[in-house]
A and B are shown apart, each in its own frame.
Chain A
Amino acid sequence: MEISDSLSFLLTLPLFAMVLSLFVPKGVQRVYSIFASLLFLGLTIYEASGILFASSSEVAGRLAVEHQLVWLPQLGARLALRLDSVSVWFVVLNALTAVIAFSTKGIWYRKNPKLFTAMGFFLIFGLNAAFLSLDLVVFYLAYESVFIPMIFMVGVWGEKQKATAVFRFFLMSFLGSILMLVSIFYLLSKQFKTGIGYSSYLPDLIPTAGGLQGTEALLVFFGFFLAFAIKVPLVPFHAWLKDVYTLAPFPATIWMSAILSKLGVFGMIRFVGPLFPGVMLSVQGVLLTLAAVSVVYAALLAYRSNDPKSLLAYSSISHLGFVMLGVFTLKQSGGASAILLSVGHALVSGILFFLLSKIAERKDGIDLTNPQGLASKYPILFTALFVAVLASVSLPGTLNFAGEFLVLLNAYPVSALCTAIAGMGAVLGAAYMLKFFQQMGFGAPSPESDSAVAKSEDLGGYELILVFVLLITVIFCGFQTAIFLKGN
């Protein structure tokens, strides 16, 4: 294991970018933020390259970078950052999502752009802190600090009637996270009573958590589980999601679906798994059922949606159900598959929402009840969208297929029934995603359907390159899954 303090750059750079954004003129905020996030992506990949492209798990394990800073000795909290084969994916995704989100265009670059950019970089900082931290208290801090930019983004640039949505999102997430905090505290106070003193460093807490028995263990576990289940979200903890996805501005939606939801997945893999292996095993049936039900339930709701954003929102729940199914197999291979699918889902949902924002720029008010016939007007845009849709329905050859396939493959020996239920979701997935694409793209374009303000340019330039690169990544990674699965 290598000790490196270059890791803290992953935290300080976004903060620096945030401060800097306050001094950048309003007109060039978009250019600045895209440039800065690209730079940050490059640096992240450079930083992570050792692990990212390691030939095998042993190599990656050796390369795992850990960095510790004393922070709160009295409370036993420290800045323990760790970049390893789990967190590296989420860190890279974080940087990548930022690029996608900043590349959108809209009111957030016209009204108060400095706040938007600053909030964006703060979000990157918070997420990175959460993904890197191996200390539960610091993780919690980072986990919760992510709310702040989200609230502002949805609240300031969201559509009308956003207030309720913001509060639901905030309060439900907060409810989950505060119960997690209570669980963390409970563990800490247990640990204190054994005479070790406080230390919220994960490896130090694992024995304490292992010492819990029966209902006690179940309740402490539930605190953690609830937080992440709300974040992901799993049905029945999902009710906050639709409104906030729908009413949020596009960059916020991209962030939420691509990376914020992964915070739940990450937490489940990084913290809940190691802390409560016994409890997880004893309630595995329930967990798998929840995941499988999420898949089908959300798919049915997506099928019913006529608003593209809410359709994609539900599809997000549905796909994350697959991810959670992988996590809940409680096998290392299942976890690895879940990470694989997470990456796929993050990329694809990022692209989908990005492209949807591009369509929304060109047409006011897309509604899926009438065919719009836009594909023939914007062939490149819709080709890209179609490829993304295919990836989303996990057509073989894409990263999502590899993920979904491996997840189901791993889940099947554990619970054939849940796998079968989730499999139904795949069929429904095809149904609603095709509906999504067809109603926007196909049919006869009616002349009056073009809004007067919309420009009729097809996708091009920087945006085309961005989308192209991302799609190629999705397909390339779909075949080169070894990058993700080394050694599992």
Chain B
Amino acid sequence: MIPDIQPMKPWICLSAGILITLLVSVIRTESKRPAQISALLTLAASAVFGFSGISAESQVLMSGAFEVSSLTLVSLSAMCGLAAMFILGTGHYLSREKIHISDYYHLLLILVLGASVLVASRNLVVTFIALEVMSLPAYTLAGFRRNDSRSNEAALKYFILGGAMGAVFLLGSSFIFGATGSLDISEVFSQSGAGSAGSLLLYLGHLLVMVSFLFKVAAAPLHFWKPDVYEGSPTPVSGLMATIITSAAFISLLRLIHLVDFSPASAGAYLDLVRSTIRVAAMGSLLIGSMIMITQRNLKRMLAYSSITHTGYLLLGVLGSFDPKMEITSVLVYLLGYAAMSTGVFVLLSLSKAPSDSGTELIDLTGLVKRAPFLTFLWSVFLFSMAGMPFTVGFFTKYLVFMASLGGGETGLVIVAALCTVIGAYAYVRPIALMTMRDAAPGATDWEPTIGSQIVAVTAAGFVLLLGIIPNAMIQYLKGIPLIH
């Protein structure tokens, strides 16, 4: 029996592209250029296939393990697009750090493959494997600056904690398997609705699975790895983590949270537990992220805390997904918007010529308006967007998650989030102030805007501003996307 794999074209294209890229780089070992071009083409082709394949109806393939739907196709295309943007925008960085080798592209492509399959997976085993397909290249890429002990350290920390949490995920899966006799998400969902005797087993399994993904998205108190890993990793890799991995993990998290049918009355108490778990995680992420963020001097570390804060906001949207049921528009919009601004920020950050990669400090931004006015403008756009100022996509993303969360009755949490927005705003506006309002401090590093990076940053900025003024299309588009059917 040959399964109908026609709808899986984009993924197959991506897989084929990986192999071709490998081959190409083996053939021409002396240059990284072929791998780069091949990777770009692969990503472009997958994205095109992904976009063209989007249609209203969704189908489940591979014995129910794989979902091809607008959600997964949009995610795949977006991830391919993001990866391509990073490839285009950070080549100079790789060259400067002397890590511009073909392997980077292989690993990047495999990472994207893992992430896109993770999003589409409807089976816990597939989810686990996809998670590892995504994570192993991520660990490696984090340690890619092999001669820098920080990079090694980041990779190892990420690896150890990730490995442990992978085991926790598996443990949860096995509990779920024990409770329902199945690893298929739809099957588990329908079984859980029946209210079987093994509900505690199921719920514990569900909790463990949820916790492992809360780790991946770095929700407090599982966030500790993030600042260290971001700081130590090469800047583009931090960017990839903030965009692709976060997005994939979040979508998967949404799916896994709704793995259990909360509709029966017997599930009410457990729903409360899940909700308060997420509430605590959200509140912790917001408070810890924003409060530590303002004490940071290192830009990359600051952005790591910023991303923890954003996780908090995203969890607000997740909370909103319980009521009305599985309404995940706010999270999707947030992910898209956050990906756009993160891409911009990390690409810009990679332009720093600081002697040590993890050493770009706030002070290096001083007086940038005189040295590179256009760069300052781009920085300001992204930072304002992160702070949630009007006319940037950051405002609407916050708008939607606040609304979603309020719809779920989380008024107190929203107020905390609002306060954290204020605290965070300080952290985001401070770099802008340093760039525009101060003269360059002695010893501030230079920034070298390259053409590729500028194109990428301008694209991202355009995206941020355009969606900040007319978010209609985006909201409309992502509104129709179902989570589970």
Q: Do A and B come into direct contact in the complex, CB within 8 Å?
A: yes
Q: Which of B384, B389, B414, B438 contacts A185 (CB 8 A)?
A: B414
Contacts of B399 in A (CB 8 A): 75, 137, 185
Contact between B475 and A181, CB atoms less than 8 A apart = no
Q: Is the CB of B402 within 8 A of A155?
A: no
Evaluate contact between A179 and B429: CB separation under 8 angstroms.
no
Is B390 on the interface with A (CB-CB < 8 A)?
A: yes
Give B149 Cβ to nearest chain A Cβ, in Å.
36
Q: Is the CB of B425 within 8 A of A174?
A: yes
Q: Is B403 positioned at the interface, with any CB of A under 8 Å from its CB?
A: yes
Stretch with Cβ within 8 A of B (4 or more), from A140-148, A324-332, A392-400: A140-148
B433 & A166 in contact (Cβ 8 Å cutoff): yes
Chain B minimum-CB-distance residue to A170: B429
Q: How far is the CB of B208 from chain A (nearest CB, A)?
A: 33
CA distance A74 to B436 in the complex (A): 37
The answer to whether the Cβ of A235 comes within 8 Å of any Cβ in the partner chain is no
Q: Which of B91-144 contact A (CB under 8 A)?
A: none
The answer to whether B472 touches A72 (Cβ under 8 A) is: yes
Chain A residue at minimal CB-CB distance from B474: A74
Query: Which residues of chain B come closer than 8 Å to A166, judged between CB atoms?
Result: 433, 437
12 more CB-based (< 8 A) A-B contacts, given A156-B436, A158-B437:
A75-B400, A140-B390, A141-B391, A148-B389, A151-B433, A166-B437, A167-B426, A167-B429, A171-B425, A182-B406, A186-B406, A189-B406
- State in angstroms the CA–CA spacing of A462 and B438 once bound together: 34
Q: Do A188 and B436 contact each other (CB < 8 Å), given the known contacts A75-B475, A175-B422?
A: no
Of B437, B438, B471, B475, most A-chain CB atoms within 10 Å: B437
- Choose one: B391, B411, B433, B437; the contact of A145 (CB below 8 Å): B391
Residue A192, interface by CB 8 Å: yes
Contact B421 A167 (CB under 8 A): no
Residue of A nearest to B476 (CB): A74
Q: What 0/1 readout, one digit per residue, does chain B (378-393) give for beta carbons within 8 Å of chain A?
A: 0000001000011100
CB-CB nearest in chain A for B438: A163
Contact A155 B433 (CB under 8 A): yes
The answer to whether A179 and B415 have CB atoms under 8 Å apart is yes
1/0 contact string of A147-161 vs chain B (CB within 8 Å): 110011001101000
CA distance A178 to B419 in the complex (A): 8
**A-binding residues in B (CB < 8 A):** 384, 389-391, 395, 399-400, 402-403, 406-407, 411, 414-415, 418-419, 421-422, 425-426, 429-430, 432-433, 436-438, 470-472, 475-476, 479
**Structural contact, B471 and A171, CB atoms closer than 8 A:** no
Partner of A141, one of B395, B406, B425, B429: B395
Name the CB-closest residue of B to A73: B472
| Residue of chain A at shortest CB distance from B406 | A189
Contact between chains at B418 and A182 (CB < 8 Å): yes
A74 CB, min distance to chain B CBs, angstroms: 5
* Contact B425–A170 (Cβ < 8 Å): yes
Indicate if the CB atoms of A74 and B390 lie closer than 8 Å: no
Q: Report the Cα distance A171→B432, complex, angstroms.
A: 14
The 4 A-B residue pairs with the shortest CB-CB distance, nearest first, are: A155-B437, A189-B406, A141-B390, A145-B390
Asked whether any CB of chain B lies closer than 8 Å to the CB of A162, the reply is: yes
Most chain B beta carbons < 10 A, residue from A148, A162, A175, A178? A178
Q: How far is the CA of A178 from the CA of B394 in the complex (A)?
A: 14
Please measure, in the bound complex, the distance between the C-alpha atom of A167 and the C-alpha atom of B407, giving whole angstroms. Answer: 32
Q: How far is the CB of A338 from chain B (nearest CB, A)?
A: 27
Is B422 a contact of A186 with CB atoms below 8 Å?
no
Interface residues of A in 175-214 (CB under 8 A from B): 175, 178-179, 181-182, 185-186, 188-189, 192-193
Is B429 within 8 A of A181, CB to CB?
no
CB-nearest residue of chain B to A157: B437
CB pair A74–B472 under 8 Å, yes or no, is yes
On whether the beta carbons of B390 and A185 are closer than 8 Å, the reply is no
A185 and B402 in contact, given A155-B433, A179-B415 (Cβ under 8 angstroms): yes
Nearest-Cβ distance from residue B370 to partner chain A, whole angstroms: 9
Contacts of A174 in B (CB 8 A): 421-422, 425
Interface size on A, residues (CB 8 A): 36
Chain B residues with CB under 8 Å of A72's CB are: 471-472, 475
A74 touches B411 (CB 8 A): no
| A179-B426 Cα distance, complex, nearest whole Å | 16
Name the A residues within 8 Å of B422 (CB-CB).
Answer: 171, 174-175, 178
Contact of B415 with A155 in the complex, beta carbons under 8 Å: no
Docked-complex contact B425 and A142, CB < 8 angstroms: no
Q: How far is the CA of A158 from the CA of B415 in the complex (A)?
A: 33
Some 23 contacts from A to B, beta carbons below 8 A apart, are A72-B475, A75-B400, A141-B395, A147-B389, A148-B389, A155-B433, A155-B436, A163-B433, A163-B437, A163-B438, A166-B433, A167-B429, A171-B425, A174-B425, A175-B419, A175-B422, A178-B418, A178-B419, A181-B402, A181-B418, A188-B406, A189-B403, A189-B407
When distances are taken between beta carbons in the complex, the residues of chain A under 8 Å from B471 are: 72
Q: Are B476 and A186 in contact (CB under 8 A)?
A: no
- In the complex, residue of chain B having the shortest beta-carbon distance to the beta carbon of A129: B390
Indicate if the CB atoms of B403 and A188 lie closer than 8 Å: yes
Q: Whole-angstrom distance from the CB of A186 to the nearest CB of chain B?
A: 6
Q: Quick check: A192 and B472 within 8 Å, CB to CB?
A: no
Q: For residue B403, which residues in chain A have a CB less than 8 angstroms away from its CB? A: 75, 185, 188-189
* B476 neighbours in A (Cβ, 8 Å): 74
In the complex, the chain A residue whose C-beta lies closest to that of B404 is: A189
How close is A120's CB to chain B, nearest CB, in angstroms?
Answer: 16
Residues of A within 8 A of B430 (CB): 167
Residues from chain A with Cβ under 8 Å of B406 in the complex: 182, 185-186, 188-189
Instruction: Report the nearest B residue to A122, measured CB to CB.
Output: B391
Cross-chain contact of B402 among A74, A141, A182 (Cβ < 8 A): A182
Nearest-neighbor residue (CB-CB) of B324 within chain A = A192
Which of these, B395, B414, B472, contacts A182 with CB under 8 Å? B414
Minimal beta-carbon separation of B31 from chain A (angstroms): 43
Which of A71, A144, A163 touches B389 (beta carbons < 8 Å)?
Answer: A144
Which of A171, A181, A185 counts the most B-chain CB atoms under 10 A from its CB? Answer: A185
Residue numbers in A under 8 Å from B414 (CB-CB): 182, 185-186
Chain A's closest residue to B398 (CB) is A181
Bound-complex Cα distance A189 to B415 (A): 14
Verify B389–A162 contact, CB threshold 8 A: no
Distance in angstroms between the alpha carbons of A156 and B434 in the assembled complex: 10
Considering the chains assembled together, what is the distance between the CA atoms of A163 and B366 in angstroms?
Answer: 13
How many Å lie between the Cα of A73 and that of B432 in the bound state?
33
Q: By the criterion CB–CB under 8 Å, are A171 and B426 in contact?
A: yes
A155 nearest in chain B by CB position: B437
CB-defined contacts of A162 to chain B, threshold 8 Å: 437
B318 to chain A, nearest CB (A): 17
User: Nearest-CB distance from B52 to chain A (Å)?
Assistant: 25
> Which of chain B's residues have a CB closer than 8 A to the CB of A137?
399
Q: Which residues of B contact A156 (CB under 8 A)?
A: 436-437
Q: How far is the CB of A133 from chain B (nearest CB, A)?
A: 12
Chain B residue numbers with a CB within 8 Å of A148 are: 384, 389
Contacting pair A179 B418 (CB below 8 A): yes
Max chain A C-beta neighbours (<10 A), residue from B390, B399, B418, B471: B390
Question: Least Cβ distance of B286 to chain A in Å?
Answer: 13
List A contacts of B433 (CB < 8 A).
151, 155, 163, 166-167
Q: Chain A: which residue is nearest B469 at the CB level?
A: A71
Using CB atoms, name the residue of chain A closest to B434.
A163
Q: What is the chain B residue whose CB lies nearest that of A147?
A: B389
- Residues of A contacting B421 in the complex (Cβ-Cβ under 8 angstroms): 174, 178
**Nearest residue, chain B, Cβ from A145:** B390
- Which of A137, A152, A174, A188 has most chain B Cβ within 10 Å? A174
Contact A152 B436 (CB under 8 A): yes
Distance of B381 from chain A, by nearest CB (Å): 11
Is the pair B411, A186 in contact by a Cβ cutoff of 8 Å? yes
What residues of A have a CB within 8 angstroms of the CB of B389 in the complex? 144-145, 147-148
Q: Cα distance A167–B160 when bound, in Å?
A: 41
Q: Measured between C-beta atoms, what is the minimum distance from A385 to chain B in Å?
A: 31
CB B435 to nearest CB in A, in angstroms, measures 10
Give bound CA distance, A193 to B384, whole Å. Answer: 32
What is the minimal beta-carbon distance from B317 to any residue of chain A, in angstroms? 13
Q: Report chain A residues within 8 Å CB of B425.
A: 170-171, 174
